[in-house]
Chain A
């Protein structure tokens, strides 16, 4: 499962939103991956998410795979929309 989102926050995914995304992703058993600009990152690792260097206007894809993928997608979507 996945969803697409265009970043609206003018500062992109910096440390704080990255931390929040990761904290949310860790709640689920599913593998959560963020794709941006042709790169992939494990959403449960802060360094991986920060390394994507996502900026305002960039489009990210959030992918969830696993038994609780549905809940994960919903949770991630909420965090992304609230913070980015």
Chain B
């Protein structure tokens, strides 16, 4: 794939570099903040080579290119546009004015979590492998080798607040090492370990005022208190950097920011938000445990829309919470049901569609969903056609119902789908047996089957639209242009094509393209296809003299239209009664740009049938192309 061409394509479709406020990318998407959204041609953008989907969310224009591709397109893009690479933080800030506070908070949570996911995934997979081995090798659990591997698998989760703190400091623009210190303070070994429930009960009390008491307890497994404390630290640090003279900076700023945030962390933020976090988790646990699997059904149904809204990053918090409380992660199997369901829905689209581009995109998107990455399936395929997305929601709900009924749990988080098998293997510590694994696999099968069937039945394939063809904009009887009783048309002065004696008073778009000209009198409309074919549909002869009477336009100049979309309606009976010939020429006005325009129809034609084909001129051999 030509990354430069794709970057150039994006740049053109968004209205040039002047229209960019800032640019960044994440794992799969190019994220742009646009000055004037009306200059963006979404259709054109979707057709850029490699673009798997385009959507606007949280004030950003996001174009999905996929892992491994997006960074290369991005590099070319910023080189072409001559802008500096924005960090995601810059883009977020630029977009902030278009976003509400709640979404911004959740975005922040995502920004903190996403960079540390590799650590958590490594840890989770290792844990899964290790548990798998203890099931196969007798005596493994009691051996020192178990301890040896267990410490590798548990390190990231044991010291999670430090990872969170470092990541938060980066997001908030504070010093990452000072951030790490704040995280270390919160899980210092001198504090009672929060995972030791008995010890927490009898932990030393620092002070208490009425019901508010502060114990010397750590924040193992907590997330929000850590993020907030580091935010305080970064805030203090940045403020102090501005006011403290440079010569004193090193002595004053780190000391003051660590001390201030340490005090705030352990005395205020920790106790309050630690409690809030517990409540959020209890709420989630309650939701999932609503009897008869109703909770799982509900979560499974609404999960995918929350991915679209971008608020799904907070689920890491919930999953972490389940594990921190010593239980299994019962959220992940529902997430898996949701992901594979979206994948299965996309797969059904892949099998049903005749559109080659869509097919070639839907297959890898579906596979990727089974590996736990759903963005390509959701944004690239399902949501564009809506019905597959809803089919995915149904599959997610059904799978979620089954997972909740059978209490499937996982021993870690950060992976879903097929790789999730590794963390749903039998695990004696969490009380997960062989049935847990079986039910996990059944969850995937059930969710997939439901989503696939609904999507396959419900999804309506787009009419085929090949770039060298024109599809009938009218229904009626086709005649040759030379039979038209108007010498200008008959002689081909306006271009090559054919004419229709219309049966119904409706004109639809002959391809995907743009309305280029629409006469004020609405009797004729010019449409240019995405590939550059210009087609004029002129309803009736001399009907310009009706001055718009009997005609209704449903589009305006500049509108992007899809094949089959209604452009005009007209009262053919009234026009005929006014003694006008309703013969409607359909003409390729830039016929000179092509070697030939072939008429493919004869006699009766209906909307959407192939009527004209353009033949490309043979490329002339020029000095340049000969050299190349």
The chain A residues found within 8 Å of chain B, CB to CB, are 11, 14-16, 18-20, 22-23, 26, 45-47, 50-51, 53, 55
Contact = CB atoms under 8 A, between A and B. Distances in A.
Interface stretch (B48-56, B309-317, B435-443, B520-528): B520-528
Q: State the majority secondary structure of interface residues on B.
A: mixed
B539 to A, nearest CB: 10
24 contacts: A14-B521, A14-B524, A15-B494, A15-B519, A15-B544, A16-B488, A19-B493, A19-B494, A19-B589, A20-B488, A20-B493, A22-B494, A45-B590, A46-B494, A46-B495, A46-B589, A47-B516, A47-B528, A47-B590, A50-B536, A51-B516, A51-B517, A51-B557, A53-B519
Nearest to A46: B589
Contacts, number: 59
Contact of A11 (B538, B544, B557): B544
B534 interface: yes
B488 to A, nearest CB: 5
Interface in B500-557: 516-517, 519-521, 524, 526, 528, 534, 536, 538, 544-545, 557
B18 interface: no
Contacts of A22: 494
Given A14-B544, A51-B557, A46 B534 contact: yes
A84 to B, nearest CB: 13
Contact of A47 (B493, B526, B544): B526
A47 B517 CA distance: 7
A8 to B, nearest CB: 15
Given A19-B494, A46-B589, A11 B545 contact: yes
B571 interface: no
B592 interface: yes
A40 B493 CA distance: 22
A15 B516 CA distance: 14
Contacts of B544: 11, 14-15
Interface in B293-325: none
Contacts of B534: 45-47
Contacts of A50: 517, 519, 524, 526, 536
Contact of B493 (A23, A53, A55): A23
B592 A14 contact: no
Interface in B550-606: 557, 589-590, 592
A71 to B, nearest CB: 20
Contacts of A19: 488, 493-495, 589
Contact of A15 (B524, B545, B592): B524
Contacts of A23: 493
Contacts of B520: 53, 55
A19 B538 CA distance: 12
Contacts of B592: 26
Nearest to B538: A15
Contacts of B517: 47, 50-51
Nearest to B557: A51
Interface in B470-506: 486, 488-489, 493-495
Given A45-B590, A46-B590, A50-B526, A14 B493 contact: no
A30 to B, nearest CB: 16
Contacts of A55: 520
Contact of B589 (A11, A20, A47, A53): A47
B514 to A, nearest CB: 10
B555 to A, nearest CB: 15
Nearest to A53: B520
A22 B517 CA distance: 16
Pick the 6 closest A-B CB pairs, nearest first: A19-B494, A46-B589, A19-B493, A14-B544, A50-B517, A16-B488
A37 B519 CA distance: 16
A66 B590 CA distance: 22
A53 B544 CA distance: 13
